[in-house]
Structure 1
Amino acid sequence: MTAHPFLDGTVKPLFIDGQWRPARSGDSFESIDPSTGHVLTRVARGDAADIDDAVAAARRAFDSEWQSWKPFDRQALMLDVAAAIDRRFEDLARLESMDMGAPLARTLSFRRWIQQTFRYYAAQALSIRGDVLSNSAPGDYLSYSLKLPLGVVGAIIPWNGPLITQLWSICPVLATGCTLVLKPAEEAPLSTLMMAEILHEAGVPKGVINVVPGPGPTAGAALAAHRDVDKIAFTGSTLTGRKIIEASATNMKRVAVELGGKSPDIVFADADLELAARGAAMACFNNSGQVCYAGTRLFVERSIYADFVEKVAEVGRSLKVGPSLDPQTQLGPLASSMQLEKVTGYFDIARADGARIVSGGERLGGDLADGFFVSPTVLADVDNSMRVAREEIFGPVIAAIPFDSEAEVVAMANDTTYGLGSGIWTQNLGRAHRVARSLRAGMTWTNCYAVTDPGVTMTGARQSGYGVKGGPWHLDEYLLNKTVWMNIAGE
């Protein structure tokens, strides 16, 4: 086992009301290194009783002096937190790689993005404002709006990138004056627990940020249904998202859900094919395919289909798959044995449905046999009706589908229940704009893929969810827009 200062050999406790504490049940679970299959540590297993404690702590903090903090004070706190994270960033990135399997080169690259995110939302803290609203009511009335913190927020984040996804709740909570109960996934809770430690040591008041790892059916369900939670933010599968939405009806809490995807990535014959081949490959293979908006359905114009698919496969073959802490690794393992079983199961499904495996299509053995590794995979001769083209695999598996015309590919791209990401590769400016407008997805990249920035909105459509992350409208989801009427008549 590789040593890490956060892993001291003890069970990692829950973080509630500014204190570390065991689960009420006394139960814990193993955190597994997916590169080796070995146990990293044990983590306290939170359940409904612990969620109750965390929500109560968040409510007390919301009703306390936290509400007296001015926007300048919250901004200053966020900048202090950003500096504290930066001082311990290498350890934080390394812990994320050990816990969920992302290559260290990838997690270390998040340093700038995390600093951007905290600083962007710190600036937003000073920009919250209401409006004076014109009215035509008989008499003499002043009407205006105030934007006030919504209250207690519950956030449930996935295992495929907690170092990043936790910030989509932590930062708007700190910027607006809300409080937070955060439930990380059992598969990768460690970077979120370490983040709680950093936030607390940087001066975030007790109860403002609480972290309760635990199973979705118990801890997650309790958080989603809790009557004293004012908003729930969920990132994960569409099936679980539906359950979250149903549970939110207990008190009509606000809900934002980012769910699954089966995103189309479209390559026209006039594209820069070298750029497109690398871009299309990494649109899926990045993070070993464990990205909700990954470009997993690759549509290629028929005149270039065979050659281009081979180019993409060659990119996959050239990538170094290996342990997450190896500095040369470009693709790490899948995050869990369960995910490994799911992804490799699709190789047999693809063969049975008539798809051809151009590259990959196997679990990796040898020195990697103990970990959860699969090779980057390209499937050809895929029809848009096949299961590998319909279902979210969440692994490094590209389904390549030929097309003949712009109208045909738009129709096929939109023939899905999802609507998260999409990509277009072409040098025809008019076509790029037409297709981008026609794709039923919350995000479209042209001649690039998966470029993100905290100041630019991310959103989904259809069964990929609703609500926004990032950009100028994100804070509105954490604010109550309150209207005030004043009779200002002289008599």
Structure 2
Amino acid sequence: MDVSANVGRLGAAASAFISKPHKLLIDGKWVVAKGGKTFPVFDPATGGQIAAVADGGAADIDLAVKAARKAFDDGPWGKVKPTERGKIVWRLADLLEKHATELAEIESIDNGKPVSDAKMVDLPFSCELLRYMAGWATKITGQSIPLSAPGEWHAYSMREPVGVVGQIIPWNFPLMMAVWKIAPALTAGCTIVLKPAEQTPLSAIRLGELIMEAGFPPGVVNIVTGDGTPGAALAAHPDVDKVAFTGSTEVGKLIVQAAAGNLKKVSLELGGKSPSFVFPDADLSVAIPGAATGIFFNMGQCCTAGSRLFVHERLFDKMMAGLSDEAQKLKIGPGLDPTTRVGPLVSEEQFQRVTGYLASGKEQGAEAITGGRRHGNEGYFIEPTVLTKTTPTMKVVREEIFGPVVCAMPFNDDDLERIARQGNATEYGLAASIWTRDIGVAHKLARKLKAGSVWINVHNFNDVALPFGGYKQSGWGREMGYEAIELYTEVKAVAAML
């Protein structure tokens, strides 16, 4: 086995975790996969192997669903009072905070992201989201409803947990996406079968250990690692009441088809091709670094990445010069190097995808004014890239690249309707940003954009209280905020004749 040299950079706790066997969490126990197989996990900075993880399948999913069903229908979880449920979720946040350095290192070597980002963004946000959701445990209420029917009535609604939930998470923010999914579901009283991405299973496994330490009863959270097989089995399982998926739009459509068998509830957080608009009065000292962060953060592997940049022609040259300068200042290197600002892409497959788009852009006439090439000769590094001379018909403009590549286009219009049409000319509708000093223009354009999140003078902004999700083919439903609780509850109406 070609072991990654970066394993030596890990602290003692992360190193000890990486080196041990990694099993499935089913009904409160760590077990080997029914098929007895494992699959390798690689460090994207070197391509070397760092671990072997249990390769679960449909039989393991079936066991996990049965455990979750028992915990929901017969186990103690349904009888746990809201205050206690909130306390356990909060306790998990405390454990994540206690082990933050270890978790950040695991995330970095598994995903490739800069360890500084994992420490400053992924872990604090995950802890905050758990605590925010924990607070909702005692506030999930129904309504008293006045009726117009003849007679005397007492009528009310109530919210109940939806039941057994299958959750399938992506590889770009492995730990944080796991928390995005489990926090509201646990708070609502659901039980869970979690399927991590096969590229990045390690932080979910460590999260499972902390879940057991926090005191969740057996079967409340089950974790099955593997390739697409267990994910497909989970989406199709007849005893799963809801499936929640974050990932590509293509796979999201397959999830919908698989879920049709028992018409389980489905929520989807899918792809994006988010536009950014820089108006002639924009403060470039804010817009330039903001647009750079909007596309280069997490190596562009963000569904909300600001990958289409529309800049007024009066500022275009200055904006391009500034953006190129920002890109060239970013240090590229292994995620575990604390000075790294741009790590590798997550895998060989993703590396080939992004380089394929770069080749396509060049063939269709796009020009890379900075970047556009592989960095180094090992691992999956791509230089932060700014493409100009791009047009709406190019693949790099139309399709989600999911890499550190931005397509910049000038505009010379002040008609907000036409500007909005440019931004909306995509099958996606996840996010957008507007850069201007004119707050009236910003709010008028925000109303015209078909996007689930619109940010003004910032990009890639999230808060645990803000609902997050997309229009069009960017998904169904909203995560975070109280809307996330609604995703994991059913509404029951009760009417009594007096």
Same fold (TM over 0.5): yes
The answer to whether the 8 A contact 1:424-1:446 is kept is: yes
Runs of 4+ residues over 3 Å off in structure 1: 5-11
Structure 1: distance between partners of 2:66 and 2:136: 27
Instruction: Give the equivalent residue in structure 2 for 1:17.
Output: 27
Q: Is 1:195 matched up with 2:195?
A: no
Deviation at 1:111, TM superposition (A): 3.3
The answer to whether the 8 A contact 2:235-2:243 is kept is: yes
Deviation at 1:8, TM superposition (A): 5.3
Q: Of the candidates 295, 301, 307, which is equivalent to residue 312 of structure 2?
A: 301
The residue type paired with residue 206 of structure 2 is M
Instruction: Give the equivalent residue in structure 1 for 2:147.
Output: 135
Q: Of the candidates 386, 389, 397, which is equivalent to residue 394 of structure 2?
A: 386
Instruction: Give the equivalent residue in structure 1 for 2:90.
Output: 79
Q: Is 1:28 matched up with 2:32?
A: no
Q: Is 1:431 matched up with 2:432?
A: no
Instruction: Give the equivalent residue in structure 2 for 1:113.
Output: 125
- Sort the Cα spacing of 1:21 and 1:153 in 2 relative to 1 into closer, same or farther, 3 A: same
Deviation at 1:409, TM superposition (A): 2.4
Q: Is 1:395 matched up with 2:372?
A: no
Q: Of the candidates 459, 463, 485, which is equivalent to residue 453 of structure 1?
A: 463
- Superposed, 1:254-273 pairs within 5 Å as 254-273=265-284
The residue type paired with residue 203 of structure 1 is G
Deviation at 1:6, TM superposition (A): 4.6
Structure 2: distance between partners of 1:250 and 1:337: 35
The residue type paired with residue 405 of structure 1 is D
The residue type paired with residue 186 of structure 2 is L
Structure 2: distance between partners of 1:25 and 1:487: 56
Instruction: Give the equivalent residue in structure 2 for 1:337.
Output: 348
Q: Of the candidates 186, 189, 198, which is equivalent to residue 174 of structure 1?
A: 186
The total of aligned residue pairs comes to 484
Q: Of the candidates 307, 317, 326, which is equivalent to residue 328 of structure 2?
A: 317
Q: Of the candidates 212, 216, 221, which is equivalent to residue 224 of structure 2?
A: 212
Structure 1: distance between partners of 2:343 and 2:470: 27
Q: Secondary structure in 2 aligned to 1:485?
A: strand
Structure 2: distance between partners of 1:193 and 1:405: 51
Deviation at 1:10, TM superposition (A): 4.1
Aligned alpha-carbon RMSD (Å): 1.1
Instruction: Give the equivalent residue in structure 2 for 1:416.
Output: 426
Q: Of the candidates 222, 225, 237, which is equivalent to residue 248 of structure 2?
A: 237
- Sort the Cα spacing of 1:345 and 1:8 in 2 relative to 1 into closer, same or farther, 3 A: closer
Deviations 1:247-294 (A, max 9, x none): 111111111001111110111111001210110111010000000010
Deviations 1:109-165 (A, max 9, x none): 133322211111111111111111111222222111111111000000000001111
Q: Secondary structure in 1 aligned to 2:482?
A: coil
Q: Is 1:228 matched up with 2:239?
A: yes
Q: Secondary structure in 2 aligned to 1:402?
A: strand
Q: Is 1:68 matched up with 2:42?
A: no
Instruction: Give the equivalent residue in structure 2 for 1:463.
Output: 473
Unpaired stretches in structure 1, ≥5 consecutive residues: none
Q: Secondary structure in 2 aligned to 1:371?
A: coil
Moved more, 4-13 or 45-54: 4-13
Structure 2: distance between partners of 1:84 and 1:399: 41
Deviation at 1:7, TM superposition (A): 3.3
Instruction: Give the equivalent residue in structure 1 for 2:175.
Output: 163
The residue type paired with residue 132 of structure 2 is Y
Instruction: Give the equivalent residue in structure 2 for 1:286.
Output: 297
Unpaired stretches in structure 2, ≥5 consecutive residues: 1-6
Structure 1: distance between partners of 2:387 and 2:32: 47
